[in-house]
Structure 1
Amino acid sequence: MAKYFAESELIINQDGSIFHLHLLPEQLAQKVILVGDPGRVSLVASHFKGIECEVQSREFHTVTGSYKGKRISAVSTGIGCDNIDIVLNELDALVNIDFNTRTEKPQLTQLTLVRIGTCGGLQKDTPVGTYIASEKSIGFDGLLNFYGGRNDVCDLDFEENFKAHMNWNPQLGAPYVIDADAETLERVSGKDMVRGVTIACGGFFGPQGRELRIPLADPYQNEKVENFEYQGHRITNFEMESSALAGLARLMGHKALTCCMVIANRRAKNVNANYKNSIDGLIQLVLDRI
């Protein structure tokens, strides 16, 4: 018997669209580019040959169109793993739940999801302007720990070694380590992106080791992060969404990858605040390869 989703669990608007994104099932392409900034959706869509639809609700801005014969949706998520939880669940519902019967469809529709974002580089070989494809993501956010099957998709040995190295504070959510989809990583990263390990943080300041007026719980956090190494892997960058994207996609049966441009190097303590003028190069690479 097909699983039924009650009105309180799957909220559908009066026009038949999904609750937060306000998208109808037919408006979503199977290839999806995710960006944080709603304004960046227009930059992605500026490369489309034709536009089918444009929908905006809160921070969620979607444009579906065509690029070199490929049907692609560009969707903004806003900042943070909590927003990724909303977006991934609603994108999955659009393709894998029948809105008329409120039941799961018998055949899985697999989405390819590539996030294009910005990040802070943590190593000397990730200077400002570097493109990093997240081969692995470490979630400081704890989001995936709320879902069944979490241990089946995570790299548990990596997690244990990381927690031991960091002397992980039990008051924090347990970190989780998740791999990007291997085929998407190979195809999209090519030879011009660094394949790295990305930490997705639950905030921009304290969780990323930035100290303004409030002192940090662990003032040595970033030093320990930068010095961690496990089976040849070193942590390359901080951002705020990659772990939830990779983890939820893996649990749902989708293919996901995060690609970021370094706009600040935490070791060198420099930043490119005008990165919006240069991220278009990464957008074009992803559009060509998705």
Structure 2
Amino acid sequence: MPIKESELILNPDGSVYHLNLKPENIADTVILVGDQNRVERISKHFDSIEFQTQKREFKTHTGYYKGMRISVLSTGIGPDNIDIVVNELDALVNIDLESRKPKENLKSLNIIRVGTSGSLQKDIPVDSFVLSQYGLDLNGMLHFYQIDSIKNPDVEEAFIKQTNWSKNKATPIVIENSPKLEKILESDGVFKGMTATAGGFYGPQGRVLRLPVQNPDLNHNMDTFNFKGLRVTNLEMETSAIYGLSKLLGHNAVSLNAIIANRATGNFSENPGKAVDDLILYTLNKIVE
């Protein structure tokens, strides 16, 4: 049966509704960034740009870097936006948009997040890079999908116990990255660990302005969490959603973050722009190696 128009919404030109993209507009390797202004910071390194579009916060450039076709797409902030982006990217490659039916032969995209984040560990300093071996989902968006096949119950149960996780919050989910992409993007100078993904910037990440939080000790409890050497290295708002949806849909995903703040020490990068630019070039050159 064809997917209903109300479920898979297309623009009048046949492009997917939010991303404003057609299948021919994206490469098999897609770099995701949060900030739409970061798209140009990546594509300026391209040898050529063949396609550009933007709708709302979703901005896409597709072109070539050292002979390799790459798309860069801005997601905006948060797991709700990731739900839109990854589902529509998958629709572009795995659903026939004319017949509205899934294709028989499915394609796996390589999805790489290049973002910024705050470290939760004193020994992971500002301006360093973190590669997320696992995404720790704290926001609950993935619970709307059938996720039993991608969960890691032993780690999840240990996290709930060690952090005194409230039953009133969404149950944490732990999702592994793509080992294939990890091998491509790792190096001795890059930290690895588990990246926690919150559903907000202030209370969900333990920041207090005028509103008290449910558990003032949560960040400290996450700092000290350890499961067979696996610890929570950093905290942001996209990684676990990218990992979960990519895993469910059959895509490869990995997340790289430039650390611009250290929550454990209170330090903030003196030049966060340089840290991001350094990570951009690191990622591009690792991809084409």
SS at match of 2:231: strand
Structure 1: tracts of 5 or more residues without a match: none
Residue type at the aligned position of 2:220: E
Tell me which residue corresponds to 1:245. Answer: 242
Give 1:278 deviation, angstroms: 2.9
1:281 paired to 2:284: no
Give 1:191 deviation, angstroms: 2.2
Distance 2:275 2:268 in 1: 13
Structure 1 stretch displaced more, 189-198 or 50-59: 189-198
Distance 2:27 2:127 in 1: 30
Residue type at the aligned position of 2:110: T
Tell me which residue corresponds to 2:3. Answer: 5
Tell me which residue corresponds to 1:85. Answer: 83
Give the structure-2-normalised TM-score: 0.97
Tell me which residue corresponds to 1:41. Answer: 39
Give 1:143 deviation, angstroms: 1.3
User: How many pairs does the alignment contain?
Assistant: 287
Tell me which residue corresponds to 2:203. Answer: 206
Distance 1:113 1:132 in 2: 16
Residue type at the aligned position of 2:50: E
Distance 2:65 2:111 in 1: 16
Distance 2:277 2:132 in 1: 19
Contact 2:128/2:275 (CA < 8 Å) preserved in 1?
A: no
Contact 2:138/2:198 (CA < 8 Å) preserved in 1?
A: yes
Tell me which residue corresponds to 2:141. Answer: 143
Residue type at the aligned position of 1:201: A
Distance 1:92 1:119 in 2: 26
**Structure 1 residues 191-221: Cα deviation after superposition (integer angstroms, max 9, x where no partner):** 2211111100011111111111111110111
Give 1:190 deviation, angstroms: 2.3
Residue type at the aligned position of 2:57: E
Residue type at the aligned position of 1:208: Q
- Residues 273 and 54 of structure 1, relative CA distance in 2, 3 Å threshold: farther
Distance 2:57 2:148 in 1: 31
**Structure 1 residues 120-144: Cα deviation after superposition (integer angstroms, max 9, x where no partner):** 1011111101100000110111111
Task: Please identify runs of 4+ aligned residues in structure 1 that moved more than 3 A.
Answer: none
Distance 1:84 1:18 in 2: 15
Distance 1:114 1:12 in 2: 25
1:195 paired to 2:165: no
Residue type at the aligned position of 1:92: D
**Structure 1 residues 7-63: Cα deviation after superposition (integer angstroms, max 9, x where no partner):** 000001000100000011100100000000000000010010011110000000000
Tell me which residue corresponds to 2:129. Answer: 131
Distance 2:5 2:131 in 1: 38
Tell me which residue corresponds to 1:122. Answer: 120
- Superposed CA RMSD: 1.0
Alignment of 1:178-189 (within 5 A): 178-189=175-186
Alignment of 1:213-252 (within 5 A): 213-252=210-249
Tell me which residue corresponds to 2:160. Answer: 163
Distance 2:173 2:13 in 1: 38
Give the structure-1-normalised TM-score: 0.97
